[in-house]
């Protein structure tokens, strides 16, 4: 290794139904297929002109294999992965929430983490995904010894209800 890590590059998911997962990620996250390969993998990114994928989808050899259960715990392995929104406007997160609801995505839970405001939802293979907004540092700096906790859910705010 010649230097420190920069960022997470991409996630590769083996899926039970490649076409269904492609459609889900195109609708839920507005991702675009930017390429494929001879093995049938699909490379997706937020910008259709990008060459670096965020997500790679691959058809599972055994589409009948059971996905890892999301609940109840315990389980071993990745619990979820997260996408940061390129915005600091709560209305952007609300728009994502509405889109997820419109396409029938299963919302697992929402959380105000103080440092982020987050929506957790499941893909067709029951992988958990987080979409979040970063909070301005002044919102949490000096207010908590451990700013990564939870201040409760965001359901009412995301739905546009007072609160």
From first to last of its 163 residues, what are the pLDDT tens digits of the chain?
Answer: 566 777 778 899 999 999 999 999 999 999 999 999 999 999 999 999 999 999 999 999 887 887 777 777 677 778 889 999 998 899 999 999 999 999 999 999 999 887 889 999 999 999 999 999 987 766 666 656 666 667 788 889 899 886 5
49 and 91 within one domain: no
Considering the domain boundaries, does residue 105 fall inside one? yes
The CATH number covering residue 126 comes to 3.30.720.110
Number of domains in the chain: 2
pLDDT for residue 146: 62
Taking residue 53's Cβ as centre, other Cβ atoms within 10 Å add up to 22
> Is the distance from CB of 28 to CB of 121 less than 8 angstroms?
yes
Domain of 54, in residue numbers: 11-59
Distance from C-alpha of 13 to C-alpha of 23, rounded to nearest angstrom: 14
103 and 36 within one domain: no
Considering the domain boundaries, does residue 2 fall inside one? no
pLDDT for residue 67: 75
Considering the domain boundaries, does residue 96 fall inside one? yes
Considering the domain boundaries, does residue 69 fall inside one? no
85 and 28 within one domain: no
Considering the domain boundaries, does residue 4 fall inside one? no
pLDDT for residue 147: 60
Considering the domain boundaries, does residue 101 fall inside one? yes
- Edge to edge, what strands does the sheet with 55-59 contain? 11-15, 55-59, 42-45, 32-36
153 and 91 within one domain: yes
Considering the domain boundaries, does residue 89 fall inside one? yes
Match 């492609």 to its residue by tokens.
Answer: 22
Mean pLDDT of the chain: 87
Distance from C-alpha of 32 to C-alpha of 52, rounded to nearest angstrom: 12
3-state SS, residue 163 = coil
pLDDT for residue 4: 79
145 and 97 within one domain: yes
Considering the domain boundaries, does residue 75 fall inside one? no
153 and 87 within one domain: yes
Taking only the tens place, the pLDDT of each residue in 45-72 is 999 999 999 999 999 988 788 777 777 7
């Amino acid at each position: 290794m010649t230097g420190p890590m920069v960022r997470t590059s991409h996630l590769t998911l083996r899926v039970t139904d490649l076409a269904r997962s492609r459609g889900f990620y195109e609708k839920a996250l507005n991702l675009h297929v930017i390429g494929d390969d001879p093995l049938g993998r699909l490379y997706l990114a937020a910008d259709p002109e990008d060459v670096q994928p965020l997500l790679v989808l691959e058809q599972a050899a055994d589409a009948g294999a059971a996905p890892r259960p999301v609940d109840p715990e315990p389980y071993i392995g990745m619990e979820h992965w997260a996408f940061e929104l390129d915005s600091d406007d709560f209305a952007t997160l609300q728009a994502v929430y509405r889109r997820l609801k419109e396409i029938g995505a299963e919302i697992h839970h929402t959380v105000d983490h103080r440092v982020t405001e987050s929506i957790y939802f499941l893909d067709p293979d029951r992988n958990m995904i987080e979409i979040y907004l970063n909070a301005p540092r002044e919102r949490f700096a000096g207010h908590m010894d451990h700013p990564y906790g939870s201040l409760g859910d965001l359901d009412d705010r995301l739905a546009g209800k007072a609160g």
